[in-house]
Structure 1
Amino acid sequence: MHSALHKKVRFGFYVAFIIIIAASIFSYLVAKNLVENANMSSHTIEVSRRLEVITKELKAAEAAVRGYNLTGDSSFLQPGMEERNRIIEDEYRLLRRITADHPAQQRHLDTLKELLDIKYYQLLESQRHRTTNLTAKTAVRQGEISMDRIDKKVGDMTHIEQTILKQRQQNFQFFSNLWVPVLLIVSLFAIFLGVYSYVVLNKEFRLQLHIEARMRNYQRELQDNIALLNKSNLELEQFAYVASHDLQEPLRKISTFSDRLQLKYKEHLPDEAAQLLERMVSAVGRMRVLINDLLQFSRAGRISPETIEPLDLNALMTEVLTDLDVGLQEKQAKVQVDQLPVVEGSHTSLQQLFQNLISNSIKFSHPARPLQINIKSETIKGRDTGFAKENKWDDNFVRITVEDNGIGFEQEYAERIFLIFQRLHGMSEYQGTGIGLAICKKIVDTHHGHITAMGSPGNGATMIVVLPFKQKWDE
């Protein structure tokens, strides 16, 4: 998925996720408010019902006492005052418990208890002593006053419950009215996001299928091109090898005939002819060197798992310095070699690599001072090489530097000097075919390494070779 499109889709899902969380929280608050409102309604109904039972029992007791006082019939007193009082006490205790978290209602219940005790005392007195008409009127008036006070207190308690319930209902109504548009908006947004995501992902899926199809085609073409390139390289190597060998024979004949001409007829040849003959012999010599270098280049880097072995670079470097001893002595060279590690590689190829590097230092030594060559090494991780793939970042590599104090070169030519037939100096200044460092690069590449160069005109050059400790042929 493209980066910009991926960010948009991810941002959309983040927004949807936040909105859904907010909607869930809001839904929880609405549901919680609904439950609290339902509990409050039940609470109010229960308080009202308990108060109604109390007033009903009081009024029934008062009516029973009045009937008994008027008729003298004791059946009006069934059930008795004790039973009625017990029912009122039970209801009162329940009211105490269900309003325990409301201080105002508790205070009202304290007052109600006092009024109930007074009313109960009045009813007991009226029951025990049947009164005359005058006293009956007084008792009725006192009972009505007492009952009015009780009704007022019950009304106050009921009003409190109704007020709380009304507030709860208003809050619930507010959340309910707000919840409907919120739910609608969230639903529409979710539908829009779902449709948009489907369209985008479907488009991306089709694009991915198209890219995969093209990648498969490119991969097949690449494999075909690699196979063709390998075949072409093999044919070119065979051609170079065969051509070089075929060129050796006429060169030998030219060289032989030139030598005979110089031995037998040099004194009889004119000066101009003798010079031409010498130039021809010199050209033949350069041609022979070029052919030999081409043969070396075609053979360089030809390694296989069978030719790979652990190599002590200290011993290998000793062999190289021994082979180059004459050239080093001519330049009065001093070679300083650090302790080198053991690495896996082809003995012939790595020997040729270091022989070419040191020979390069000898060839381009500074004429005004003795040659100094310093060979150093250090172990680094793959992530520090600058070229290793990510799966080799934890592998160990050795970085070997061959530093000299020769004539050096301009840094802008650091890549050019590793190309075949590339020379920074003319044939009259320094002999060579321009193949030596190209062979070095080919050897390092086939050993899964890297070679670079650093130089400064008049101050010398440094060749930097990085090689893995282990050659992994399955990667």
Structure 2
Amino acid sequence: MKKSNFIYLIIGFSLALLVMSILSIISYKRLTSFILFSDQIEHTFKVLDVVERVGSSAREAESSLRGYVLTRDSTYLTPLFLAHTTLPPMLDSLAVLVREDKMQLMRLSLLRHNLNLRLKVLESTIPMVNDGTYDSVLVDKMASGRRLMEDFKGVLNQMTAAEKKLLASRFTQKEMYQQMTPYAFRQVFIVVGLVCLLLFILLLRELFERIKSQNALQQQVMALKQSYAELAQLAFAASHDLQEPVRKIRMFTDRVIIKQKNKLDNEGQMLLGRLDASASRLQGMLEDISDFMTLIDSSEEKELVSINKIIEEVIDLFDAELHSKLAKINISPLPVLEVYPSQVRALFRAMFDNSLKFAHPQRPPQIDVTSRYLEEKEVDAFLQPHLSKAYLAITISDNGIGFDNRFSEKIFQLFRRLHPNDTYTGKGIGLAICQRVMANHNGFIAAEGLPDQGASFTLFFPKG
């Protein structure tokens, strides 16, 4: 998948998620409002029910006294006596229901006051009826009771009217949200469906392109495998089959030099010498190719080994040359790594051989080996596409003749030389071997140099 297409897919999914979140929040708020107004409507119905029951109880109490006056039957007084126990809890529950409405609380307080006065008037009439004095004050009592009842009914009607007005408003809002909520959900499903369909089409297209790319890549891999097999056969022939003719050339050249030396003039002896030297160099190059191919097809198992110990073994191989050149090697403590021991040994052998071979003629060689751990962001500077997140960097630096950094990558090519044979010996394969060894360890090598000041080679071993 192309990076740009991948970015577009991420943006698409992000926008889809954002739209889904916004629409979901809107739908949730509308659904919450719908539920809230439904609860408020139910609450209003409760208030109206309590108000209706209070009015009904008050009317029953008043009617009960009229029945008693007419019949003198005390059973008619039961609703009046019950009003003392039934009405206060109703009023209290009504106070709880309208506690957030100040106007209704004020009306409720006035209603409670009028109701208490009305009950007192009704109760004060009972003794008069029993004593036979009720008729003398009938007009006054009836007028007083009528006023109190009218006030009571007026307050009761005000409360009822306020609740019905509030009920109508809440019904309107509920119906609005009831209609809007399904619409909002439909919008969510439509938008999300369209976005998901678009993303599915993009993913499907990318999938087909990826399958196509994988098929092309598989064909390329098969072609590369075939090319590799052919190159491996060629390299095997170069490193084995061609060595026999070269050995014979050297053998016959040696015989001519030994047996016909006195018969050849100076020019003939010089030409035979050059022929032998070229044959010797060719033989060495073929051996190096064989060694290089061994690294590619190596079946060696990795082991946990001390890098310091490997370096000590390699230094012993250069003991005579180190003494003759008065060379000094400084080695910092290095960790234990899981590596291919023989390959790492060949790696450091090539590194030290390179530093000693290209030593500065005017000063004794000095080689420093140090190490440090690097994070991925520090390795990015080397522009190497590797998967590891951390590396152990082992740096081998020297004070030799160095090189121009323009050639920092070319020096790792097979048989690539920066200096002529008559100035510095070597076949140009040592650094290529080093690069191959690092590739086998899923790492890499980088080089830096300054002419006449020295060079440094950093080996990046993946950590973990």
The TM-score normalised by the length of structure 1 is 0.81
Q: Select 2:40's aligned residue among 27, 36, 41.
A: 36
Whether contact under 8 Å (1:258, 1:281) holds in the other structure is: no
Whether contact under 8 Å (2:392, 2:460) holds in the other structure is: yes
**What does the per-residue CA deviation read over 1:209-267, in whole Å, with 9 as the maximum and x for residues that have no partner?**
4145325424532542353244123212212123431332342245225414762213x
Kindly indicate whether residue 288 of structure 2 is the aligned counterpart of residue 296 of structure 1.
yes
Q: Which amino acid aligns with 1:85?
A: L
Q: Select 1:278's aligned residue among 246, 254, 270.
A: 270
Counterpart residue number, 1:70: none
Counterpart residue number, 2:456: 462
Q: Which amino acid aligns with 1:426?
A: P
Note closer, same or farther for the CA distance 1:34–1:249 as it changes in structure 2 (3 Å cut): closer
Q: Select 2:81's aligned residue among 83, 86, 89.
A: 86
1:120-159 pair list within 5 angstroms:
120-129=123-132, 136=135, 139-159=137-157
Kindly indicate whether residue 240 of structure 2 is the aligned counterpart of residue 242 of structure 1.
yes
Which segments of 5 or more consecutive residues in structure 1 lack a partner in the other structure?
Answer: 68-75, 471-475
Whether contact under 8 Å (1:382, 1:388) holds in the other structure is: no
Counterpart residue number, 1:428: 422
Q: Which amino acid aligns with 2:278?
A: R
* 2-structure distance, mates of 1:316, 1:356: 13
Kindly indicate whether residue 119 of structure 2 is the aligned counterpart of residue 116 of structure 1.
yes
Alpha-carbon offset, residue 321 of structure 1: 3.2
Note closer, same or farther for the CA distance 1:150–1:408 as it changes in structure 2 (3 Å cut): same
Kindly indicate whether residue 358 of structure 2 is the aligned counterpart of residue 355 of structure 1.
no
The TM-score normalised by the length of structure 2 is 0.83
The 3-state SS of whatever aligns with 1:427 is coil
* 1-structure distance, mates of 2:339, 2:198: 53
Which segments of 5 or more consecutive residues in structure 2 lack a partner in the other structure?
Answer: 97-104
Q: Which amino acid aligns with 2:12?
A: K
Whether contact under 8 Å (2:65, 2:77) holds in the other structure is: no
Counterpart residue number, 1:232: 230
Counterpart residue number, 1:13: 17
Q: Which amino acid aligns with 2:233?
A: E
Kindly indicate whether residue 445 of structure 2 is the aligned counterpart of residue 442 of structure 1.
no
Counterpart residue number, 2:93: 98
Note closer, same or farther for the CA distance 1:368–1:170 as it changes in structure 2 (3 Å cut): same
Q: Which amino acid aligns with 1:50?
A: V
* 2-structure distance, mates of 1:437, 1:180: 79
Alpha-carbon offset, residue 417 of structure 1: 0.5
Note closer, same or farther for the CA distance 1:213–1:284 as it changes in structure 2 (3 Å cut): same
Identity of aligned residues (%): 19
Alpha-carbon offset, residue 344 of structure 1: 4.8
* 2-structure distance, mates of 1:181, 1:36: 18
Alpha-carbon offset, residue 347 of structure 1: 5.0
Instruction: Give aligned pairs, total.
Output: 447
* 1-structure distance, mates of 2:152, 2:463: 97
* 1-structure distance, mates of 2:393, 2:221: 33
Counterpart residue number, 1:160: 158
Q: Select 1:252's aligned residue among 247, 250, 253.
A: 250
* 2-structure distance, mates of 1:173, 1:326: 104
Kindly indicate whether residue 56 of structure 2 is the aligned counterpart of residue 62 of structure 1.
no
- What is the root-mean-square deviation in Å for CA atoms of aligned residues? 3.3
Whether contact under 8 Å (2:114, 2:152) holds in the other structure is: no
The 3-state SS of whatever aligns with 1:99 is helix
Kindly indicate whether residue 402 of structure 2 is the aligned counterpart of residue 408 of structure 1.
yes
The 3-state SS of whatever aligns with 2:242 is helix
Larger Rg computed on CA atoms: 1
Whether contact under 8 Å (1:380, 1:399) holds in the other structure is: yes
Note closer, same or farther for the CA distance 1:57–1:381 as it changes in structure 2 (3 Å cut): closer
* 2-structure distance, mates of 1:63, 1:377: 112
Whether contact under 8 Å (1:112, 1:153) holds in the other structure is: no
Note closer, same or farther for the CA distance 1:56–1:452 as it changes in structure 2 (3 Å cut): closer
* 1-structure distance, mates of 2:368, 2:213: 49
